[in-house]
Structure 1
Amino acid sequence: MPHPDAGTSPPGTIAVVLKGYPRLSETFIAQEIRALEVAGLALRLVSLRRPTDRAVHPVHREITADVRYLPEYLHEEPLRVLQSLRRAARLPGFARARAVWLRDLARDRSRNRIRRFGQAAVLAAELEPDTAMIYAHFLHTPASVARYAAIMRGLPWAVSAHAKDIWTSPEWEKAEKLADCAWAVTCTAMNRDHLAALAPPGRVDLLYHGLDLSRFPDPAGLPTADPASTTGHGRDTGNDRDGSDPARPVRLVGVGRLVEKKGWDTVLAALALLPDGMAWHFTHIGGGPLKDRLQAQATADGIADRITWQGAMAQAEVLAAYGRADIFVLASRIAGDGDRDGLPNVLMEAQSQRLAVVATTVSAIPEFIRDGETGLLVAPDQPRALADAIATLVAAPALRQRMGAAGRARLDAAFSLEASVGPLIARLSAAVADGREARHG
């Protein structure tokens, strides 16, 4: 029985399960969803959480798929949960789904595990009858909900795995989900190799997150930017800055959540090690729980007056910040709980705007950034090495320009959205065709 507000979905709908929607930090997911819509696939978005960001990106406004929010906490919608459990209990796969969940619960006795089964029952009870497949982003909680619901409904399900969901999930859970899903894709070769070792042969494929270049036009073909402009069009003409003039500091920018795996404490330590007299200013974009701690570190290091903390920003504002910058900095690391970046989308965004990059050799970053060609790479958690790399690019505007141009060329050649989303469109279209064939005999 569909949810009362569901309406009538087009034939062959793909249910896309997301942890939260919309989210400013997950532009790559929104770009993918819009590309699937443009390809003609009928989608229904299912979110485990309601949005917390106040702003949205332009791509979110272009997405036409309806969004259904599952109860984030089961006690908030008890009647909906109980009615769904009663309906789900009559589904042919409910007994198997319950057995799978109980086996999982025995190894993970958490409220989170209970919540996922309740959310899955709501999803299974409310799915439209013409749903062809359930497709989840992230291998941890969204895949749990997708898996339980798919078993209840007798549907195939698939998953796109990314970073934290891979490296903080137990091996038994990853192996069992990969054995159960129709297929899985992931965004780095390192991820692919790790998951493939746990999965049946041929189950896991590499699919990089491509960048929608129509939203990140090459600034070389745009009018020159006014440094005071907020449009983000063109590159700042002051690209001869070399750190020697205090009135014209080299502009560094970093984009990413203020969390452990992003390594912002290493960035601040590196900035504090830059040579005396070198003129620079660092702008950070993004929110997160470590803001107060990092601002206190900047104050203690005596560099607080050379840093601007912008907080979370919409895509147009981020693009404008890239246009005003000279160097992009990110010091990704493996966090204490195993969490890490895959291939941060912000690196592709920065190189789309011809920014030279200073980053670390963590995860798939070297799969995109070519050390000495499109940017400089150093080992994680090495402030001195990071400072030396930053200082090298600060003092060498011509090198920055060459690296930025090479980065844009590499992005165009191998990391466009069109190149990455094509195989996904083919897989999901096949699922829709199989579902129609099954319904019509």
Structure 2
Amino acid sequence: MPEIILQKVLHYKTNFLNPSETFIARLVQNHVRYKPVALCYRERAFTEKLELCAVPKNGLESWINTAAFHTNMPLPFYDKTLKNLQPALIHAHFGYDAYKLTGLANKHEIPLITSFYGSDVSRLPSEFGWKRRYKKLAARGDHFIAATDFMKSQLTALGFPRNNISVVRFGLDLKKFQYHENSPAPQKIMMVGRMVEKKGFKYAIEAVSNLCKIGMNPQLNIYGYGPLEQSLKKYSEQLGIGRSVHFHGYQPIEKIMEAHNQHSIMLVPSTTASDGDMEGLPNTILEAMAKGTLVVASNHAAIPEAVIDQETGFLFDEKDVDGLTKTLKLIIEGEYDLNNIQRNALALVEKQYSVTRMVEEVENIYDSITA
């Protein structure tokens, strides 16, 4: 039987990939009808068993491409790779990286697809020059993928053609998630993510402080790192709840999955940062729903597309510490049928957020472009 030769799709990201970018890795690792190849300036993570084209780290070629990179010039290595590889299409991840390849994609007449994820839609356009760059990307790109309906509306407002934007929701490999029906005590709460303003961790700490004041004993475990880590630790001590808030630093996904089994609530108090930065739909929400960990989240950006209040989780208004405190108090006191809400959350993830569905929808887009 003759070997089936799959068309190549070149996945591009400057750093391929950051350890937190599992949502990209799941697409690249699960292609069915296309052969993935990665192009990058620097190799980081998720490159096992993947054909990788990375700028050399040493020698004259490294020096030439490093100089081009730091002067915002097209990289000769990228140009050579596109010429030699001749992929059926390029799939760039994040708008800022897609823009870097617009000229080379047009030069080699290779279709360019761009996936957007969050800050590249909410914060980046407010920075100098990026609205102009996005106009060029909107005109030259062949297709655009938004991770949520909310993000599609943001892209349309930025001038991207609505009929050329597809919504493809994140996909989880549900075989890797062991659902836990019987949750631990509801006072065990976890948060996961970078310690930056848009994550809203400050408001969660204040809510925990409120619960302690009324005689409850919540235990908040925070997994992640970031520029606000020390100030959040100091804030917890100032509120007198240092024994109730625990900082565990960055942890690999395996440790996070283990932590879900020890917690009953995943808290996601996201907010719009002062520089306009917003979430897309945090991957941690979908992972919690697949694991059976109850999600309590702010009514922010695309979060309500997955977290339906009192149906698949709980919502509170951004920065509303009193509302969050009240919700957590009622959950802890047993006012809701949590098992039913957890099962609803799992059913929604299985229907709308499986990796099989995600890959199929993306490859259908590839088919329409390559045709």
Tell me which amino acid in the other structure corresponds to 1:148: G
4+ aligned runs moved over 4 Å, structure 1: none
1:123 and 2:78 correspond: yes
Q: TM-score, length-normalised on structure 1? A: 0.75
Tell me which amino acid in the other structure corresponds to 1:331: P
**Which residue matches 1:66?**
51
**Which residue matches 1:400?**
338
1:43 and 2:36 correspond: yes
Worse overlay, 283-292 or 12-21: 12-21
1:258 and 2:195 correspond: yes
What pairs with 1:25-424 in structure 2 (closer than 5 Å)? 25-36=20-31, 39-51=32-44, 60=46, 63-70=48-55, 77-80=62-65, 114-115=71-72, 117-119=73-75, 121-127=76-82, 128-140=84-96, 142-167=97-122, 168-169=124-125, 170-197=130-157, 198-220=159-181, 235=182, 239=184, 241=185, 250-274=187-211, 275-396=213-334, 399-424=337-362
**Which residue matches 2:16?**
21
Offset at residue 217 of structure 1 (A): 3.2
Summarize the Cα distance change of 1:201–1:409 in structure 2 as closer, same or farther, 3 Å threshold: closer
Tell me which amino acid in the other structure corresponds to 1:156: P
For 1:204-258, what per-residue CA distance to the aligned partner results, in whole angstroms no more than 9, with x for missing partners?
11111122211213334xxxxxxxxxxxxxx55xx4x36xxxxxxx210111111
Offset at residue 413 of structure 1 (A): 2.1
Offset at residue 11 of structure 1 (A): 6.1
Tell me which amino acid in the other structure corresponds to 1:45: A
Offset at residue 263 of structure 1 (A): 0.6
Summarize the Cα distance change of 1:306–1:65 in structure 2 as closer, same or farther, 3 Å threshold: same
For 1:313-356, what per-residue CA distance to the aligned partner results, in whole angstroms no more than 9, with x for missing partners?
22221111111101110111111111111111100100111121
Tell me which amino acid in the other structure corresponds to 1:200: P
Q: Structure 1, unaligned stretches of length 5 or more?
A: 1-9, 86-110, 221-234, 243-249, 435-441
**Separation of aligned partners in 2, 1:397 and 1:31:** 37
- Asked whether the 8 Å contact 1:11–1:130 carries over to 2, the reply is no
Offset at residue 427 of structure 1 (A): 2.2
- Asked whether the 8 Å contact 1:17–1:45 carries over to 2, the reply is yes
- Asked whether the 8 Å contact 1:332–1:359 carries over to 2, the reply is yes
**Separation of aligned partners in 1, 2:301 and 2:199:** 12
Summarize the Cα distance change of 1:200–1:79 in structure 2 as closer, same or farther, 3 Å threshold: closer
For 1:347-392, what per-residue CA distance to the aligned partner results, in whole angstroms no more than 9, with x for missing partners?
0100111121111111000011001112211111122221111222
**Separation of aligned partners in 1, 2:178 and 2:198:** 29
**SS class of match (1:304):** coil
Q: Structure 2, unaligned stretches of length 5 or more?
A: none
**Separation of aligned partners in 1, 2:351 and 2:195:** 31
- Asked whether the 8 Å contact 2:55–2:62 carries over to 1, the reply is no
**Which residue matches 1:99?**
none
Worse overlay, 142-151 or 180-189: 142-151
Offset at residue 276 of structure 1 (A): 2.8
Offset at residue 182 of structure 1 (A): 0.7
